[in-house]
Amino acid sequence: MSNKPTAIYWMRQDLRIADNPALNRASSEHFLAVYIFDDVNSNTETMIGEASAWWLYNSLDKHNSNLNNNISFFRGDAITILQGLCESYDIKNVFWNRCYEPWLIDRDSKIKDSLTSKGINCESHNASLLWEPWEIHKDDRTPYLVFTPFFKKGCLNASPPRYPLVSVDLSKVIKANNAKDLDEISILPKNNWHKKFDGIWNIGEHAAYKKLEDFIEDGLVNYKDGRNFPYQNNVSRLSPHLHFGEISPNQIWYMVDELDGSIYPERDVYHFKSEIGWREFSYSLLYYNQELQTENLYKKFDKFPWTKDISNLQNWKRGLTGYPIVDAGMRELWETGYMHNRLRMVVGSFLVKNLLIHWNYGERWFWNCLIDADMASNSASWQWVAGSGADAAPYFRIFNPIMQGQKFDPDGSYTKKYIPELANVPLKYLFNPWDAPKSILDDSGVTLGKDYPYPIVNMQESRDLALDAFDTIRIK
């Protein structure tokens, strides 16, 4: 039979047709396009969160349409499933694009050993990073722990990233006889809280590219300054598309790199590219520190006196801390599956430094609620804000949520959107409503403790406690 498949393209975090090295390699012969939802080799820390699962399901649905409904879906142990397909179809070649999470590196290594021992050619490719983690290192070949030299000396002096590949002919893709439908592999969690995301996000390869084009047209100019203001249009919101591989960093890098410098200021283009560099830095940290998701990078923080009373954790999760800018960020997360990066820093600082709750509680909540939950970026970012990670914010840098709101939401638009109960509070008191005279709160229709909570901690007292706690582990 002339169209019997001889290859497998195993898709993972690369749900696109353009610039897809493994798909390019497989498309020269008849092949199976396989997706495996592996719930066997993952654990509670690594299993996909509920918001990300919602995105993944919809992304696979779009990608399957782009592949003429020819994706072969499976659920279970990836090793067993791939071995079975190779035996059933006498497969000669298996192609995939690399993932860099430690549990996936370990699993994929076992798969490669198993298949190559049976004479099957296995090829893995880089489709999700500009540079491999092992390609960027210091002169002594140790990994960087500070971002600026990592990016300026490491990345920008390395060989240029691979130029994006063109799309390929998909006429030779074949669906496996025993494949399941997307709904049969049960990706969507039973808890349907994420249903509200429908209509907020456009998902898939075409949507990702359109979002990049829109950002370049409307948001790239003034990116360096505007990216800090949550109600401005100066962030790309490409992170979920990047995580699931609906667009590659190479496509983004070269699209902005080739822009007309007379229209797009160099400083804005550079700072946007440096944010892509932060993603690369996070993956380097995870690659060389495989416990980054759960363990402090700097071990002195193992002795940090985190509080054992986490009763305020639920107030933080629900956006009921009594600090409006913190609560606005947490409610944006719950309502949209996303949070502006400035707010991620503010709410993270509040959890670990004002509430003295271990950063891992925040990492876990973000992991479950973010549509762009990415092990490398999420773990590195939480350790950054806690002070326990690479190139971290000093522990004594404690964000003041009142000042952060006044500075980065100066007209209150963002805060009032997510805290509608404070919509009529004058801007002077929006970020500290407890300081407003009762007459003003009455006129605004707000009764503190009823319509909106009093602060759950005193800002100055909690700051002092945090600094005292840090003193106990400070290296003299």
Catalytic residues, by residue number, are 275, 278, 306, 341, 359, 382
At a CB cut-off of 8 Å and minimum separation 6, what does 246 contact? 15, 16, 59, 63, 203, 204, 205, 207, 208
- C-alpha–C-alpha distance, residues 345 and 298, integer Å: 19
CA atoms of 310 and 110, how far apart (whole Å)? 40
Q: In the block, which residue shows the tokens 């994006």? A: 164
Of the candidates 70, 25, 85, the one whose C-alpha atom is nearest the C-alpha of residue 171 is 70
Strand locations in 60-198, DSSP E? Answer: 71-75, 93-97, 121-125, 173-174
Please choose, from the candidates 37, 31, 61, the residue with its C-alpha nearest in 3D space to the C-alpha of residue 176: 31
Q: Which of 173, 182, 177 is nearest to 89 (CA)?
A: 177
CA-CA distance, 197 to 420, in Å (whole number)? 19
Residue 24's nearest CA partner among 33, 13, 37 is: 33
Give CA–CA dist 371/158, Å, rounded.
Answer: 32
Are the C-beta atoms of residues 33 and 173 closer than 8 Å to each other? yes
Please tell me the number of Cα atoms within 13 Å of 426 on its side-chain side. Answer: 12
Angle at 195 between CA 190 and CA 196, to 5 degrees: 150
Looking at the DSSP assignment, which residues form a beta bridge with residue 31? 7, 173
Whole-angstrom distance, CA of residue 217 vs CA of residue 33:
35
The per-residue b/e assignment along 144-174, b for 16 or more CB within 10 angstroms, e otherwise, is bbebeebbeebbeeeeebbebbebbeeebbb
* 7-11 vs 93-97, strand pairing mode: parallel
